[in-house]
Structure 1
């Protein structure tokens, strides 16, 4: 246990999520203090951990997440809906420090955040979608975007990859999941928890 409470900020596009988390964490004032950020692009000075709602990955280009990862000293932890493991994998590929599930109870959430802040993985940290198939977070990110219907060029542009690097990721991914076509890859993804295009 830490000498003083962790200073934690919440970044969510949904007020109900931010307020709900704040209320949950208020039961643990000796372990966690929720602080406000002016925006996701704030410097997060004095903040130990930022909880980032994965919905931001679905509704934006995630530049705010990239800012938090690259321009702040805070640990960035994804707060993920279990039904969108593809977004969690995309966040892991971008370099977040960890993720926690929205299904956790308040005490479990505090414990998970403390572990990540201390540089320790949570028990289910390696349980990202595609892990059993041996997919890396980057490969999951690529498959996720394929499942969303993006072309190779659109995916390469979005991920800042050359088209040849992207094709290499696609070949490796297909080999790992045992498919040989885009249609088969999409079918595999839909059967393994990736969100449909209109989710």
Structure 2
């Protein structure tokens, strides 16, 4: 029995990148008796009353606080959960102060993620235990994955594609400038770029710019 008692949880997924949302939506495919993705939503108001809005923070840390606050204030969003790999204490604290009901790690296996969402729907405040920097759970997707770009490298390339400087990226991702430079060098090798301009052009052409699309009623959801 799910936390609603009689039906699967209705979940909306929020992010600015289609490929990220699609991967996350498919992660729930084996659990459709417990989780139904009702909307895939990027920068649009909710149409349905939703049990949980799952906010994926990929490459949009600058806008997180504003968007999370809007979701928490939305009467159609019963619960709001942040889904991330960034567990800096101040980020977790700020999200909880804004009223989110969960702060969940992308390292959670799909089954554990579903259980965590059911706990949230039952009224618990759920915060994942930080596990250090580990790969995202299998099944998730992100721009550049097929080229061998890791999820963290993908986030950094997306921020560069948005025009952020190395200093901006370091601040937004809570990484040291040297770590950011190391990630950037690794990305350059994987995409064959020799300059930042080439990397940005490659990013624009390969899904690293926000999509701002919306899909209602994912796979027959209500």
| TM-score normalised to structure 1 length | 0.57
* Structure 2 residue 103 is matched with structure 1 residue 99: yes
The answer to whether the 8 A contact 1:8-1:33 is kept is yes
CA separation of 1:36 and 1:116: change in aligned 2, threshold 3 A: same
Aligned-residue CA RMSD in angstroms? Answer: 2.8
CA contact (8 A) 1:79 1:100 kept: yes
Q: CA deviation at 1:197?
A: 6.9
Which has the bigger relative contact order, CA under 8 A and spacing at least 6? 2
Task: Say which structure is richer in strand.
Answer: 2
Q: Is the 8 A contact 2:52 2:121 kept in 1?
A: yes
Q: Secondary structure at the match of 2:124?
A: coil
1:93 shift after superposition: 2.4
Structure 1 counterpart SS, 2:37: strand
Equivalent residue, structure 1, for 2:118: 114
Gaps of 5+ in 2: 131-170, 181-222
Out of 98-107 and 29-38, give the one that drifted further: 29-38
2:93 — aligned with what?
Answer: 89
Q: What does residue 12 of structure 1 align with?
A: 15
Match of residue 31 from structure 2: 28
The alignment partner of 1:110 has SS state of helix
**1:80 shift after superposition:** 1.3
1:6: Cα distance to partner? Answer: 0.5
Question: Equivalent of 1:79, from 55, 77, 83?
Answer: 83
Kindly tell me the number of residue pairs found equivalent between the two proteins: 133
Q: Distance in 2 between matches of 1:81 and 1:92?
A: 16
CA contact 2:12–2:40 (8 Å) conserved in 1? yes
Q: CA deviation at 1:13?
A: 2.1
Query: Structure 1: which 5+ residue stretches go unaligned?
Result: 129-189
Q: Partners of 2:119 and 2:51 in 1: how far apart?
A: 12
Alignment partner, residue 174 of structure 2:
195
With structure 2 as the length reference, what TM-score do the two structures score?
0.51
